[in-house]
Amino acid sequence: MTEKKFTTTSGIEIKDIYTVAKPSDEMPGKFPFTRGIQKDMYRGRLWTMRQYAGFSTAEESNKRYHYLLAQGTMGLSVAFDLPTQIGYDSDHEMAEGEVGKVGVAIDSLKDMEILFDGIELQQITTSMTINATASILLAMYIALAKKQGANLKEISGTIQNDILKEYAARGTYIYPPKPSMRIITDIFEYCSKEVPKWNTISISGYHIREAGSTAVQELAFTLANGKAYLNAALEKGLDINVFAKRLSFFFNCHNNFFEEIAKFRAARRMWAHITKALGATDEKAMMLRFHTQTGGSTLTAQQPLNNVVRVANQAMAAVLGGTQSLHTNGYDEALSLPTEAAAKIALRTQQVIAFESGITDTVDPLAGSYFVESLTDEIEAAALAYIDKIDAMGGSVNAIENGYIQQEIANSAYQYQKEIESAERIIVGVNKFTQETEALTEVLNIDESIRTIQTEKLNKLKAERNNDAVKISLENLKEAAKTERNLMPYILAAVEEYATLGEIADSLRSVFGEY
């Protein structure tokens, strides 16, 4: 009888026992930051407990934000609907059936004003999951902060702004890769001067993992994309010791507990060496700071309450791995956007870990574990092998354009599904421990009338604004797009005249084209 092989989800073989491989003198808060980017980690400050929310109209999302803030959320994460993500106003024919469905519909600065009504932007941090239209949504946020009288040097938050993973895994891109990269480096440059505390990109492995990658592929492709952004900014003449401090990462956390912890530790070490090799001399520019979200694709529609346990397991791994910020999914998200009850238990999960588990009392509590240290090294080696291949192709943009990264993810997704269907991989409640009848869970339904409401708001806005000023601002933006000028001041000027998201995106489409 052949002895059964045990492996991680990335195919790394797990030995039956581990012994110490090599002594390490690495310390938290010191290069290469394997053990954490702060010397005291959660003893000094807990991670930011974010809850991702956004649905229907700005009015409805605003109510959920006030609820979450009252429950103890420390930062908001905004989900935008699909038309907003790909640069269409709610009244566009391409928006039909999608308005307000997977996030909130934001068509103009007017909607942004409603979304954050009664919330002082200088007093919170806001993360916005937006990529192709990140420049426009950030401009709306800045415009609103100015209207509130906030000090722009003090407002803080993150835009995802990671277009490379859209081409590789998710698909909500608008323009071709090169003009998209130009917009991103314009944001880097503008924010370093005007909103210096803003994280100008959250380089996302989350969606790469959701598309079916392994943990190693998530790490490798995300850091390879990070290298591409560093190189693009360096080519623009930006100082790596300035702009690299405002880069952050967004990782997934799945169910393989030790593999996920080791992935986060390896990520910090790898990024420290990548930035140093590209010329960083300031240690703060070498620190990998990251937000984690528990794995959406691990949630099951069958026996949805089992997801409470999955989310707690994943959240614990993220904390033991040293995350700076965490979102925990609602147990019902395989069925719909989270209900209020599911959002509350998701937040309470983080609070129980923070205040009751004791794992925050010491820094990097699993350091020195023979298994965790060995796995950290093995994940790093496997991810570096991928990055070397991508570098040999000329970097991430080339690897995406020739389909290499997409094919690797597709192969892994196919293999994973085969393992589930053959019951080689057990998913509780799906292919083992199943029930013939399932108790129905209350789900959140989005009314189809949202598009009508948004269209009426757009019509009213266009009747009341100064349309001549809007036209001039959009023409100025088009002309700037034909030059090497930074686009952010022109986008902000258009936003402040109440040009719509679709109008601004169309102005750039007319110059850059679509991909």
**Three-class SS of residue 113?**
helix
pLDDT band at 449 (very low <50, low <70, confident <90, very high): confident
Across residues 239-252, what is the average pLDDT?
94
Q: What is the DSSP string of 313-325?
A: HHHHHHHHTT-SE
- Strand order across the 325-327 sheet: 198-199, 156-159, 125-129, 75-79, 48-53, 325-327, 290-294, 247-253, 201-204
For the stretch 67-73, contacts whose Cβ atoms lie closer than 8 Å and that sit 24 or more positions apart, written own/partner, are 67/340, 68/343, 68/347, 69/119, 69/124, 71/344, 71/347, 72/347, 72/351, 73/49, 73/347
Provide the token pair at 163: 């277009």
pLDDT band at 7 (very low <50, low <70, confident <90, very high): very high
**Is residue 313 within 8 Å of residue 295, measured between CB atoms?**
no
State the distance between the two ends of the chain, measured CA to CA, in whole angstroms.
54
Contacts of 132 (CB under 8 A, 6+ apart): 85, 86, 87, 163, 166, 172, 173, 174, 175, 180, 505
Across residues 184-191, what is the average pLDDT?
95
Q: Is pLDDT above 60 for 1?
A: no
Q: At which residue do the structure tokens 């991680």 appear?
A: 8
Q: State residue 325 phi and psi, 5-degree precision.
A: -160, 145
**Three-class SS of residue 161?**
coil
Provide the token pair at 208: 């790469």
At 299 the pLDDT is: 97
Provide the token pair at 90: 């709610």
| Predicted confidence (pLDDT) per residue in 375-413, tens digit | 999 999 999 999 999 999 999 999 998 999 999 999 999
**Is residue 211 within 8 Å of residue 416, measured between CB atoms?**
no
At 306 the pLDDT is: 96
Whether the upstream peptide bond of residue 32 has omega within 30° of 0, thus cis, is yes
What does the mean pLDDT of the chain come to?
Answer: 93
Angstrom distance (rounded) from CA 92 to CA 503: 11
At 502 the pLDDT is: 98
Beta-strand relationship, 48-53 and 125-129:
unpaired
Angstrom distance (rounded) from CA 290 to CA 296: 18
Angstrom distance (rounded) from CA 378 to CA 374: 6
Q: Taking the model in full, what pTM does it have?
A: 0.89
At 439 the pLDDT is: 67
Angstrom distance (rounded) from CA 52 to CA 319: 18
Q: Is pLDDT above 90 for 369?
A: yes
Q: State residue 249 phi and psi, 5-degree precision.
A: -125, 160
**Is residue 240 within 8 Å of residue 194, measured between CB atoms?**
no
- Give CA angle at 363 (362, 366), nearest 5°: 95
Q: How many residues does the chain have?
A: 515
| Predicted confidence (pLDDT) per residue in 82-115, tens digit | 999 999 999 999 999 999 988 899 999 999 999 9
Provide the token pair at 288: 């990998």
pLDDT band at 52 (very low <50, low <70, confident <90, very high): low
Q: State residue 70 phi and psi, 5-degree precision.
A: -70, -25
Across residues 184-201, what is the average pLDDT?
94
| Predicted confidence (pLDDT) per residue in 251-304, tens digit | 999 999 999 999 999 999 999 999 999 999 999 999 999 999 999 999 999 999
At 55 the pLDDT is: 67
Across residues 170-195, what is the average pLDDT?
94
Provide the token pair at 507: 């102005």
**Is residue 163 within 8 Å of residue 173, measured between CB atoms?**
yes
- Tally Cβ neighbours within 10 Å of residue 229: 24
Provide the token pair at 287: 């620190």
Q: Which alpha helices (H) appear in 46-176, and where do they start and end?
A: 58-70, 82-85, 109-115, 134-148, 164-165
